[in-house]
Amino acid sequence: MLISLRKLERSYPIASGRTWVLRNISLDVAAGEFVSVTGPSGSGKSSLLNVLGMMDSQWQGEYFLDGSPVHACTPAQRQRLQRASIGFIFQQYHLLADLTVAENLELPLSYRDMPAAQRRARVAEMLDRFQNVAKRDLFPSQLSGGQQQLVAVARALITQPRVILADEPTGALHSEQGQMIMQTLKQLNVEGATIIQVTHNGEYAALGSRRLELFDGWLQTG
Amino acid sequence: MRQFFSDLMHAARQWRARPGLWLAIVVTLALGIGANTAVFSVINGLLLRPLPFADADRLVMVYNTYPKNDLEFAGTSIPDYLDRREGAPSLEDLAMFNQISLNLTTGQVPEQLSAARVTPSFFSVLQVSAAYGRVLDDADAEDGAAPVAVLSHGLWQRLYGGDRSVLGRELVLSGRNYQIVGVMPEAFAFPDRQRDLFVPFVFTAAQKSDEERGNEYSMSIGRLKPGATLAGLNAEMDLLVQRVGARLPDYLPFIESSGFTGRAEHLQEFFVGDLRGLLGLLQAATLFVLLIAAANVANLLLAQGLARRREFSVRAAMGAGRAQLFRQLIAESLLASIAGAGLGLLIAQGCLALMDGQLLQRMGGSLFHTAIDAGVLGFTLLVSVLVALLISILPAIVVAGPSLVEGLKDGGHGTTSSRFTRLSRSTLVVVQLALSVALLIGAGLMLRSFDRLSGVGPGFDPAHLYSAAYALNGDQYADPAARAQFIENSLNGIRQIPGVAAAGMISGLPFSPMADSSGTFAIRGEVYDATHVPPHAFQRIIDEGFFPTSRVPLLLGRNFTVADSADASRVVIIDKLLADKHFAGQDPLGKQLSRGGGGDDAQWMTIVGVVGTVKATELGAEVRKETMYVPMRQTSFPVGSLLVRAEMPRDVLTTKIRAVLKRVDPGQPIFDVRTMQERIDASLGPQRAPMQLLLVFAGVALVLAAVGIYAVLAFLVGQRAGEIGVRMAIGAGRGDILRLVLRQSAGLVGLGLVIGVVAALLLARVLSSQLYGISAYDPLTYVAVVILLAVVAAAASLLPARRASHIDPLRALRQE
Ligand SMILES: Nc1ncnc2c1ncn2[C@@H]1O[C@H](COP(=O)(O)OP(=O)(O)OP(=O)(O)O)[C@@H](O)[C@H]1O
Ligand SMILES: [Mg+2]
């Protein structure tokens, strides 16, 4: 299994005790799967993705990533694991406004001790693959939403992560552009990428190989 | 106006909403304004405010000068005074005075009183009259008139407890009876506050003759006629000297070779004119501090302005015009800067307390007051209004800038105004740093120069070296042998005191008012005429104990001994400067000198020794005038100082010396017991106080610069929180974020440092004239300041950088 969660719990302290956002989650995801997570607003979808992406470490239970026990990792080990394994795609794209398309793509690599020549080669490769070569020197504000999200997908892929986590990647896009992004993700999955996406859209959820439903922090199986 | 008042009310409410921010703003402005007020009140007190005399701008010091002999200021002689009083039409009146010591023996311990011996015109020149009784009149100064005295208010209180019936009573001073005819007003303190009483300056017939020319132990003060000028008076004095030269052919060559003439200078200029450069420099330094403070405040207001865009957008939507919005901002700034000025006045008061004592430890000091008067208040008000305008400009552009709607739309995030704010804040920090660098380099150079100045050896060893003044002016000391006997007995007694290592005497003590007694001398074998005139030297009378006690090194030959007595052959010791100037390449020992011009009646003295050159008046200036020493048994002078080398507290030593003197002569006081180090320090006083202030200002600038860097980085980090969250989400570690912020800070700091150093290099030329023994381009100072600021900037950056690296990416992204 690429990902195994066992009895994972997440809660926040509130005035009158604690509020639970993830409850007793056990889950296995194999390499090459395309998982769609759905559920009502506030059901814990983003929370789950944040735990998987190791943006959050305040949870109880067990989390194995490709055999490594994340629950037993020191913060430094966890960061190393995150750098090596995770690619994030956000609803709001979160491209850095002051950097060009090419620079945005190069950014994750610059945090991974890669020689400059190799970095440039990877960026060129990515620009090529997403047919973005002509736009390499544009700034995000000069792109449409769909184009920006495409760059964000490329940025998530550029480190060759084992898992791509996408939290409502089409949430801010028109349906046409949403379609394009979903097609891209599907294509990546076909090429072998493991993808876990959060979506509200049933049609997009159906593109995945498996569907998970969260309800008030509980994982509904079936 | 009513509108503006309501703006002020609203501004006050802003304060209540964010007390911390406004407190920071007020304190910062107070530092900047306070520094300016302090320095301005010194400038005002010394240079701008008229002296406390009627029509003080017409008062002038009149003095002899010998520019070709390197003698700028030489006091005045009685014949010169008489010539000018009669023959200078520009003068309404002229007076002459000097300072003498009189012994008062009525009390337990004989006491030394400081008297001013003045011509009766002294009072009419200054236009002062007595508080009780009368001042001196012409009859009092007639040769043979009965001695009279006018008491200072202080002495009158001290001796008689303010009893008005003293008028007409007699006071015995140095063995003579003086009738008290008047008491001066309390405020009167000229030439200084130490004068206990005023006695008439009586001229004898001999003193009025041409023989007396060149005896310049007095000072002269005059009053110009309304409309008369210094240039006019100077020209008249030139003419008077020419007339004397025409009448006295023997004197003419000396007049021409020395460039001798009379000069006049406004009283105020004479006393404090030399401080003008230093004070100007200080004012410039405080201006820097103010600009730095203003930059800091503008910075805080900018951040604040961005946050308040919404408020202002709403105001605009309700119909407020740009002018009204701007007025609102001005009202807020004005309130802050007036409050800052109020606090600044307190700070200034503190600075003045620090400065007053030291700055005014000089002649004429009692005439000056560095108080905060109406002029200073006006200056402070003006400065605070200008500052208020200055700090309102940038926030005004942000708040009332081109597109107010933007503010309504998105609360000012990622908009042009936030970009403008970021750019202005970064620029402000660079400017602030550059100013700090320039100021710190200037202060550093001044400090090092001052350090050099104080570190320069005076040519003797001032540590544990005490001096005590005496004045042997009673009738029993008319005979030189009696004086020599008194000194010898006193010194022998003092040497017996346990703990005293050595003792000696000198007539003109270095770093005391007696230090500049000088005169012409002749070298035997030289023929002097109009083209080759006799040289000029400091002349000192010493005993054989002076050199060993003061540790002035003997370079050649021998010291004086008791055998150099009145009936032995006459001898002289010269300093190295005299040897170098006049006996270059020769052996000076055995050569002969005489005092005066070397005529037929010259008394030749043989050079028996050469000693090191001694600084006598100013530590920071090259010694340019040579010195000759003659033994006390062969030449005599009633006034001098005992020097004692001893490691013991002043009070203990003073008591023991007094006990010795009581045995030698119960009626003879000593006074002004101080270590030589204290005298040297006092001579540095006028420089030390501004130096300490400069140091304080530099410190303030440094703190403000650090605060500025901190505030801007904290602001930038806050603005970039979302971006930082994204970076962390795609793999940036804490170290990466730390580096990111520090790199940004390093960019700003580096730019500020470079601009500051360039500015300092450009300003260095201005500073040059104020520096001693150090180049205005001294690399060590530049490097040290750059390192210091870099370290401080790094420290100030660390906190925001650490905070950035601890941002929770989840929260940051949610807020993005
Ligand atoms: N920092 C926090 N403190 C307290 N409660 C929180 C915090 N962050 C999230 N929650 C709560 O956790 C629950 C799950 O939130 P989460 O963002 O995972 O929901 P979601 O399923 O992604 O919803 P949506 O579809 O609206 O994005 C919500 O009830 C939310 O209020
Ligand atoms: Mg969500």
Q: Which residues pair with B790 in a beta bridge?
A: none
> Is A43 close to ligand 1, i.e. is its CB under 6 Å away?
yes
Task: For residue B805, list chain A residues with Cβ-Cβ distance below 8 A.
Answer: none
pLDDT band at B225 (very low <50, low <70, confident <90, very high): very high
- For every residue of B72-110, DSSP letters joined together read ----B-HHHHHHHHHH-TTEEEEEEEEEEEEEE-SSSS-
Model pLDDT for residues A76-132, shown as the tens digit of each residue: 899 899 989 999 998 888 888 888 999 999 989 988 888 999 999 999 999 998 887
Q: Is B13 helix (H, G, I), strand (E, B) or coil?
A: helix
pTM: 0.74
> Is A50 close to ligand 1, i.e. is its CB under 6 Å away?
no
Q: B37, B379 in Cβ contact below 8 A?
A: yes
Q: How far apart are CA B640 and CA B472, in angstroms?
A: 9
Q: What is the mean pLDDT of chain A?
A: 91
Tell me: pLDDT of B413 over 50.
Answer: no
Q: B553, B611 in Cβ contact below 8 A?
A: yes
Q: How far apart are CA A195 and CA A205, in angstroms?
A: 12
Torsion of CA B242, B246, B251, B257, to 10 degrees: 50
- CA of B415: which chain A residue's CA is closest? A97
At residue B70, what is the residue type? Answer: D
At residue B342, what is the residue type? Answer: G
Chain A contact present for B414, CB below 8 A: yes
Write out the two tokens for B509: 């003590």
Write out the two tokens for B86: 């009669």
Cis amide linkage into residue B191, ω under 30° from 0: yes
Tell me: pLDDT of B209 over 90.
Answer: no
Model pLDDT for residues B458-512, shown as the tens digit of each residue: 888 888 899 988 888 777 888 888 888 899 999 999 999 999 999 999 988 888 7
The minimal CB distance from A111 to the residues B722, B733, B816 is found for: B733
pLDDT band at B358 (very low <50, low <70, confident <90, very high): low
Write out the two tokens for B587: 């052996």
Q: What is the pLDDT of residue B126?
A: 94
Task: For residue B730, list chain A residues with Cβ-Cβ distance below 8 A.
Answer: 88, 107-108, 111, 155-156
How many angstroms separate the Cα of B422 from the Cα of each of B201, B294, B295, B407, B589? 74, 17, 14, 16, 78
pLDDT band at B411 (very low <50, low <70, confident <90, very high): very low
Task: Indicate the domain borders of chain B.
Answer: 90-228, 280-336+381-454+686-815, 473-667
Distance A198 CA to ligand 2 centre (A): 8
Q: A53, A196 in Cβ contact below 8 A?
A: no
CATH number given to A31-59+85-208: 3.40.50.300
Tell me: pLDDT of B169 over 70.
Answer: yes
Distance A12 CA to ligand 1 centre (A): 10
| Contact (CB<8Å) A159/B729 | no
In ligand 1, the atom with minimum distance to the C-alpha of A214 is 21
**Range in B658-662, B670-674, B753-757 with the lowest mean pLDDT:** B670-674
The minimal CB distance from A92 to the residues B732, B809, B816 is found for: B816
Chain A contact present for B723, CB below 8 A: yes
Model pLDDT for residues A121-167, shown as the tens digit of each residue: 999 999 998 887 788 899 888 898 889 999 999 999 899 899 999 99
First to last CA, chain B: 44
The residue nearest atom 16 of ligand 1, judged by CA position, is: A44
How many angstroms separate the Cα of B583 from the Cα of each of B479, B593, B610, B635, B809? 35, 12, 11, 24, 85
Q: What is the pLDDT of residue B555?
A: 94
Q: What is the pLDDT of residue B363?
A: 54
In what helix (H) or strand (E) does residue B246 lie, and over which residues does it extend? Answer: helix B230-247
- Residue keyed to tokens 């960019």: B747
Q: What is the mean pLDDT of chain B?
A: 86
| Contact (CB<8Å) A56/B726 | no
pLDDT band at B685 (very low <50, low <70, confident <90, very high): low
The minimal CB distance from B731 to the residues A50, A92, A112 is found for: A112
| Contact (CB<8Å) B727/A111 | yes
| Contact (CB<8Å) B729/A79 | no
Task: For residue A91, list chain B residues with Cβ-Cβ distance below 8 A.
Answer: none
Q: B769, B680 in Cβ contact below 8 A?
A: no
Question: How far does A108 lie from chain B, in Å, by closest CA?
Answer: 6
Distance A215 CA to ligand 1 centre (A): 12
Chain A contact present for B738, CB below 8 A: no
Q: What is the pLDDT of residue B402?
A: 53
Write out the two tokens for B272: 């404090």
Ligand nearest A40 Cα, by number? 1
> Is A215 close to ligand 1, i.e. is its CB under 6 Å away?
no
Best-predicted range by mean pLDDT (B296-305, B344-353, B616-625) = B344-353
- CA of A156: which chain B residue's CA is closest? B730
Percent of chain A with pLDDT over 90: 61
| Contact (CB<8Å) B731/A92 | no
The predicted model gives B400-426 an average pLDDT of 59
Burial of B280 (0-12, 13-18, 19+ CB in 10 A): middle
The residue nearest atom 19 of ligand 1, judged by CA position, is: A42
- CA of B808: which chain A residue's CA is closest? A55
- For every residue of B569-584, DSSP letters joined together read PPEEEEEHHHHHHHST
Distance A41 CA to ligand 1 centre (A): 8
Distance B216 CA to ligand 2 centre (A): 98
Question: How far does A39 lie from chain B, in Å, by closest CA?
Answer: 19
| Contact (CB<8Å) B726/A96 | yes
Q: What is the pLDDT of residue B407?
A: 45
Task: For residue A53, list chain B residues with Cβ-Cβ distance below 8 A.
Answer: 729
How many angstroms separate the Cα of B302 from the Cα of each of B305, B419, B423, B430, B681? 5, 12, 11, 15, 48
Q: Is B504 helix (H, G, I), strand (E, B) or coil?
A: strand
Burial of B99 (0-12, 13-18, 19+ CB in 10 A): middle
Task: Indicate the domain borders of chain A.
Answer: 31-59+85-208
Q: How far apart are CA B134 and CA B565, in angstroms?
A: 48
The minimal CB distance from B731 to the residues A56, A82, A96 is found for: A82
Task: Output phi, psi for B640, to 5 deg.
Answer: -170, -170
Residues 6+ apart with CB under 8 A from B684: B450, B453, B454, B619, B620
Percent of chain B with pLDDT over 90: 38
ipTM: 0.85
Model pLDDT for residues B374-392, shown as the tens digit of each residue: 999 999 999 999 999 998 8
Chain A contact present for B479, CB below 8 A: no
The minimal CB distance from B732 to the residues A94, A97, A111 is found for: A111
